A and B are shown apart, each in its own frame.
Chain A
Amino acid sequence: MSPRPERSTAYDVLLRCYPVAFRARFGEGMRDAFAHERLEASRRGVLALGWLWVRTLAHALAFGGLERASAATGRGGGWFRDMRHGARRLRRSPGFALAAVLTLTLGVGGTAAMLALVKGVVVDPLPYPEAERLVAVQHRAEGAGLPLMGVSLGTYVHYRERSRSFDEMTLYVTGSFAVLGPEGAVRVEGARVGPGFFELLLDGAPLMGRTIGADDQVPGAPLVVVISAEFWRTRFEGAADVVGRGISIGGRPAVIVGVVPTSFDAPSRDTQIWLPHQIDAERVILGGFGRGGIARLRAGVTPEQAQADLERLVPSLADRFNPVAFDLLVTGGGLTPLVRPLKETVVGSIEQTLWILMGTVVFVLAIAAANVANLFLVRAESQRREVTLRSALGAGRGAIVRHRLSEALVVGAVSGLLGVGVAWGALRWVVRRGPEQLPRLHEVGLEPSTIAVAIALALGCALAFGGLPLLRGTPGLRASLAQTRRGNTSSPRSLGLRNLLVAAQTALALVLLVGSGLMVRTYAALRDVDTGVDAASGLVFQVGLPWGLYAEDAAALQLQQRILERLRSVPGVTEVGAGVCVPLTDCRRETPIYPDGMPLVEGQTPPSVDVIGITSGFVEALGIEVLEGRGLEPGDPFREPPVALVSRRAAERMWPGRSAIGQRIHPDYPNETPFTVVGVVEDVRSHGLTAVPPETLYLSFLGTYGYTAPPQTLGYVVKTSVAPESLAPAIRTAVRELDPNVPLANMRTMRDVVHEAGAQTAFAMILLVGAGLVSLALGTVGIYGVLSYTVSRRTAEIGVRIAMGARAAEVSGMVVRQGTRVVLAGVAIGLVGAAFLTRVLDAVLYGVRPLDPATFGVVTLALIGVALLASYLPARRAALVDPVTALRDGRQ
C-alpha cells in the first residue's frame, strides 16, 4: 500500500461549498480521495497540480451549489418549472437580466478561452506517446562560449551505446531541401532523423506505408523518404499509389515509403519530409552540436538522474575522439550534457506570458462576479416586499429559496452557454492571430472539459452570488413591511456589502489598467527601439542550393555570385547582399574567436561572438551604419589575407581605446589564417528587440570557405528604391531564370521581420488592454448601478431635503461624494495591489519600470474621472427629484 497522503486544509474550505448533510455523509471519503488525487498530481508537476485545483474549485462551486439547491428545496423535479418561472420574471426586468448575463458572459468566456489556451499550450502533454517521459538532450560548453546547443553525432553515438537511462535516444537535424518536380524546384522544410525517431514520437501508425526503418539508417542504404499528408495532397493530389514512387530530393533519387498524418509535428510544424540520417558510428566526430537530441527515459528514471548518467560518460569521450577537439570542448570548454523534459524546451519563454494573462482573466472574472453579486443584492432588495408577502401567505423556506435561486440558475445557465460562445470566438481569433512564438497553437481548442468548467463557473458564480441575499435570511413580516412603507434607504448592512463590492471592483480594475498601461508603454518602447538596421526598404529571402546539383564548392560559389549579380540588375534594386543569416531571423552563431593583441592567459576562455559570413552589399542593403573604416567590397573575397568587419561593441571589448582597423582575428582555431579588420559597423539587435545587441564579427563571406563548406542556404537582403513587396515577382523570376531548380523561400519585407519580433509583446498587450477596458466598463456599470439604486431608494429623503430648501447642487454633490468615497477607497487598495502585482510583469516589460509613476498617475486619474462620470447621472437624477411626487409616493 502506498503511504497515506497528507490532507489539505484548503480542500476542507472548499468542501464548505457543499451542504452540511452532504459533508457529514461524504466528507471523510472526499478528503481521502482528494488527498490521493493531489499526491498524484503533484508527482506530475506544478502545472498538473494547478489544473487539479482549478477543476476542483469549479466542481465545488457548481456541485456544491446544486447540492445545496436540491437540499434546500426537497429533492427531485420542479427545477425546470422554477427555471421557467425564473426566466419569465427575468423577462420582466430586462435591464437587470441583460446586465447580469452580459457581465457573467464576459467574465466566464474570457476565463474559459484563457484556460483553454493555457491548457493547450502549457498543461497538456505533448502529442507523443508517453510524452511525459520524453526529454531533450542538450549541451553547453560555456568555456567555449556555447551556452546552449544540441547534440553532435559523436556524443549521440557515445551516449546511445553507453547510457543506461534511456529506452531509446534519437536525433534530428532540420533543413530545407530542394524537391524537383515538373513546375520547377520547391524548397521543402524537412528533417534528417536518426534511428528510433518515429518510434519515440509518432503516436499510432503512419497513414500509408511505413516509417524509416533500421535498414534505411545503414550508411549507403538507398535513400528513402517519409512525407507528410499535406505534402502528399499538394504534390501528389493524394494519389493512392504514392508509396513506392520515386522523387528527387536535392538532386538525389529517393523512394517514398510512407505518409504520416498532418498532425505529426516533430521536429517542427513545418516539416514536410523526413529522411534517414545515416550515421557511420566509426567515423563520427565529437564536434558539430547543431542536431536536436530526444530520448525516452527508462521507467522510473528522472531527468536529473539521466543527466548525471550522461555527465559520467563525458570523460570517456576522450577514448574515441580527436584529443584536440576533446581539449577544446571538454577540458577547456567544460562540455556539460543537459537533460530537460521535452515540454520545457517546447513551451519555453511564452509560459510566463500566458500565466500572466491567465491571472489577468481571473481578475476580470472576479470583477464580473462582484458585479453580479451587486446586481443580485439590488434585486433582492427590490423583491423584499414580494418575498415577505409570499412568506406571510404561507410559502415555506424551501419555496422562497427556490424562488431566489431559480433566477440565478437561469442567469448562470444562459451566461454559461454564451460564455462558451465567447470563448470559442476568442480562441479562433487567438489561433488565427496569435504570435508565431506561441508554440502548439494549432493544438488549442475548446475541449469538453473546458466547456464544462465554463458552464460550472457560470452556474457556480450565479448560484453563489445569487444566493448571497439568502444569507441574510427572510426578514420578519412586520419589520419588513414597516421598513418598506417608510421608504428609506436599504438596510445598512446590504449597502455596506455593496459598497465593499464596488470598492473591490475598482481596486481590481485599477490593477488591470495599470498592467495594461505598462504593456502599452512597453509596446511603444519596442516600436522605438533602434534595431540598427533600416527596416523601411529591405526585402529578405532565402535561397537553398539543391545538394546534388551543386555538390562542388566552386559550383555553389559561382551560382551564389551569379544570383547576386542578377538581382543587382533588377530595376528598383539599389543594393544586394547575402549572409549566412539575416538579423532577427534565428541568427545566433556564437563562436569563440582569438583576436591578436588580446593576450589569453592560460586557462582563460577566448571571447565568444556571433560570427556571420556575409558578402559585400549585405551591410549596406540592411542599412547598417559603417562607423569607421569601410564596408566590404566586391573584390574582398579574393584578397589575401581575408578581411572582416566587427560590430561596435565587439571592437570596444577586444581593443578598448584603440582603433580596430588593421587588427587581426583568428576565428575558432588559433592556427587558421587570421582575418584583418577593415571596418567597424553599428550594433544590430540581431537576437530580438529587447535583447542586448550581440558582439558580432562579419567575415568576408567567400573568405570563410577556407574552413567550412559553403552553406546550403543563404539569406539574401535586397534594398529597394520602390515599395519592397512590389519587387517580389521580379526577384523570383530573376532567380528562376538563372536555374529553375533553385528554390526561393521565406520572402518577407524587413519591416515584417521587425514587426514579428515584437509580435509576442503586441499579443500580450492587446489581451491585457482588452481585459483592462472590460474591467473598466464593468467597474463603471457597478458604480453606476449602486449609486442609481441608492438614489431611487432615497427619493423620499431627497424629496424632504429639497422641500427643506436644499439646492440641486448640494443634493447631487451628496450623491457624487458617496460614490467618490467608495471609489477612492478602491483606488487606494488597488494602488497597493498594483505596486505588488506589477512585479510579475517585470520580465515582459521593456523600457518602463513596473512602478512607472506616469502610468500609475494617468491610470488612477482616468479611473477616478470615469467613476465621477458614472456617479454624475444618478446625481443629476437626484437633483431633479420633485419633492411633491417624492413625498406623496413614498418610494418609486
Chain B
Amino acid sequence: MDHSSGVDQHLPLKPVVFHILLALVERDRHGYGIMQEVRVRSHERVRLQTGPLYRHLRKLLDGGWVCEVEARPDDDDPRRGAYYGLTDLGRAVAAAEARRLRSLVATSEGLGLVSEKS
C-alpha cells in the first residue's frame, strides 16, 4: 500500500488499458498474445487491433507500467517481437483499479441495484 496515493492519480483507467494490464497479470506475453488474451477474457467484447494495441503499449512502456522481458518460452518464434510483462507499478495500478471497481460494485449491491448472484 506504500505507493497507493501515487497510484490513485492514474485512476480510473481506460477499460482497454485495464484489459491489457489484466492480460499480463498471469504471465508475460507478446503483442498478439495480449490481443488474444483480452479477447478471450472479455468474451469477445473487446477486440483490440494491432495499431491501437501498440500505441497503448508504447505509452505503458514509457510510463513504466509495462516492461520488455528478455526471457522467452522454449518453443518461441523469434519473429514474434518482444515479450512484455507488468512492472511493480503496473501491477499496483491494476490492483488499485480493481479495488476501485470492487467498491463500486459493493455500493451497487448495497443499494439493491444488482443481486450478488446475477
Enumerate chain A interface residues (CB-CB to B < 8 A).
1, 4, 22, 25-34, 36-37, 52, 55-56, 59-60, 63, 66-67, 75
Q: Known contacts A26-B81, A55-B49; is A33 also within 8 Å of B32 by CB?
A: yes
CA distance A55 to B48 in the complex (A): 12
Give the chain A neighbours of B62 by CB distance below 8 A. Answer: 75
Q: Which of A32, A55, A56, A67 has the most CB of B within 10 A?
A: A32
Which size bracket describes the interface of B in this complex? 20 to 34
Q: Which residue of B lies closest to A38 (CB)?
A: B50
CA distance A4 to B55 in the complex (A): 24
CA distance A63 to B32 in the complex (A): 18
Q: Known contacts A4-B77, A22-B58, A75-B62; is A29 also within 8 Å of B30 by CB?
A: yes
Give the chain A neighbours of B51 by CB distance below 8 A. Answer: 30, 55-56, 59-60, 63
Q: Known contacts A4-B77, A26-B81, A29-B81; is A56 also within 8 Å of B49 by CB?
A: yes
CA distance A696 to B56 in the complex (A): 65
Q: Mind listing 16 A-B residue pairs with CB under 8 Å?
A: A26-B54, A28-B81, A28-B82, A30-B31, A30-B54, A32-B81, A33-B35, A33-B53, A33-B54, A36-B35, A52-B49, A56-B51, A59-B52, A66-B55, A67-B55, A75-B62
Give the chain B neighbours of A34 by CB distance below 8 A. Answer: 50
Q: Known contacts A56-B49, A60-B51; is A29 also within 8 Å of B58 by CB?
A: no
CA distance A29 to B29 in the complex (A): 11
Tally A-B pairs: CB < 8 A. 69
Q: Is the CB of B58 within 8 A of A30?
A: no
CA distance A4 to B80 in the complex (A): 10
Determine which of B50, B57, B58, B81 lies in contact with A37 in the assembled complex, contact meaning CB atoms within 8 Å. B50
Q: Known contacts A28-B80, A29-B81, A32-B31; is A56 also within 8 Å of B52 by CB?
A: no
Give the chain A neighbours of B55 by CB distance below 8 A. Answer: 63, 66-67
B85 nearest CB across to chain A (Å): 14
CA distance A31 to B30 in the complex (A): 12
Q: Is the CB of B49 within 8 A of A29?
A: no
CA distance A287 to B94 in the complex (A): 64
Q: Is the CB of B52 within 8 A of A63?
A: yes
B70 nearest CB across to chain A (Å): 15
Q: Which residue of B lies closest to A28 (CB)?
A: B81
Q: Which of B35, B51, B80, B82 has the most CB of A within 10 A?
A: B51
Indicate whether B79 reaches chain A with its CB closer than 8 angstroms.
yes
Give the chain B neighbours of A56 by CB distance below 8 A. Answer: 49-51
A204 nearest CB across to chain B (Å): 15
CA distance A270 to B35 in the complex (A): 41
Q: Is the CB of B80 within 8 A of A32?
A: yes
Give the chain A neighbours of B52 by CB distance below 8 A. Answer: 59, 63
CA distance A66 to B55 in the complex (A): 10
Q: Known contacts A22-B58, A63-B55, A75-B62; is A30 also within 8 Å of B80 by CB?
A: no
Q: Known contacts A56-B51, A75-B62; is A29 also within 8 Å of B35 by CB?
A: no
B61 nearest CB across to chain A (Å): 8
CA distance A56 to B54 in the complex (A): 12
Q: Known contacts A34-B50, A55-B49, A75-B62; is A29 also within 8 Å of B31 by CB?
A: yes
Contacts A26-B82, A55-B49, A59-B50 known; list 16 others, CB within 8 Å. Answer: A22-B58, A26-B31, A26-B58, A28-B79, A29-B31, A29-B32, A29-B81, A33-B32, A33-B54, A33-B81, A56-B49, A56-B50, A59-B49, A60-B51, A63-B54, A63-B55
Give the chain B neighbours of A59 by CB distance below 8 A. Answer: 49-52
A678 nearest CB across to chain B (Å): 65
Query: B36-64 toward A: CB 8 Å interface, digit per residue (1/0)?
Result: 00000000000001111111011000100
A753 nearest CB across to chain B (Å): 45
Enumerate chain B interface residues (CB-CB to A < 8 A).
30-32, 35, 49-55, 57-58, 62, 75, 77, 79-82
Q: Is the CB of A33 within 8 A of B79?
A: no
CA distance A707 to B51 in the complex (A): 66
Determine which of A4, A29, A31, A37 lies in contact with B82 in the assembled complex, contact meaning CB atoms within 8 Å. A29
Q: Known contacts A36-B32, A67-B55, A75-B62; is A30 also within 8 Å of B49 by CB?
A: no
CA distance A34 to B53 in the complex (A): 11
Give the chain A neighbours of B81 by CB distance below 8 A. Answer: 26-33
B37 nearest CB across to chain A (Å): 12
Q: Is the CB of A33 within 8 A of B58?
A: no
Give the chain A neighbours of B31 by CB distance below 8 A. Answer: 26, 29-30, 32-33
Q: Which residue of A lies closest to B39 (CB)?
A: A40
CA distance A828 to B12 in the complex (A): 58
Q: Is the CB of B57 within 8 A of A26?
A: yes
A828 nearest CB across to chain B (Å): 38
CA distance A27 to B54 in the complex (A): 10
Q: Which residue of A lies closest to B80 (CB)?
A: A32
A731 nearest CB across to chain B (Å): 53
CA distance A399 to B103 in the complex (A): 46
What are the nearest 5 A-B pairs in CB distance? A29-B81, A59-B51, A28-B81, A29-B31, A33-B32
Q: Which of A4, A22, A25, A67 has the most CB of B within 10 A?
A: A25
CA distance A59 to B49 in the complex (A): 9
Q: Which residue of B lies closest to A59 (CB)?
A: B51
Give the chain A neighbours of B57 by CB distance below 8 A. Answer: 26
Give the chain A neighbours of B50 by CB distance below 8 A. Answer: 30, 33-34, 37, 56, 59
CA distance A482 to B35 in the complex (A): 55
B56 nearest CB across to chain A (Å): 10
CA distance A34 to B81 in the complex (A): 12
Give the chain B neighbours of A33 by CB distance below 8 A. Answer: 31-32, 35, 50, 53-54, 81
Q: Which residue of A lies closest to B32 (CB)?
A: A33
CA distance A334 to B30 in the complex (A): 55
Give the chain B neighbours of A30 by CB distance below 8 A. Answer: 31, 50-51, 54, 81
Give the chain A neighbours of B54 by CB distance below 8 A. Answer: 26, 29-30, 33, 63
Q: Which residue of B lies closest to A34 (CB)?
A: B50
CA distance A37 to B54 in the complex (A): 14
CA distance A110 to B38 in the complex (A): 33
CA distance A288 to B12 in the complex (A): 62
Q: Known contacts A56-B49, A59-B49; is A32 also within 8 Å of B58 by CB?
A: no
Q: Which residue of A lies closest to B47 (CB)?
A: A37
B90 nearest CB across to chain A (Å): 18
Q: Which of B35, B55, B57 has the most CB of A within 10 A?
A: B55
CA distance A31 to B53 in the complex (A): 12
Give the chain A neighbours of B77 by CB distance below 8 A. Answer: 4
Give the chain A neighbours of B75 by CB distance below 8 A. Answer: 1
CA distance A37 to B52 in the complex (A): 13
CA distance A620 to B81 in the complex (A): 77
A634 nearest CB across to chain B (Å): 65
CA distance A34 to B30 in the complex (A): 13
B23 nearest CB across to chain A (Å): 13
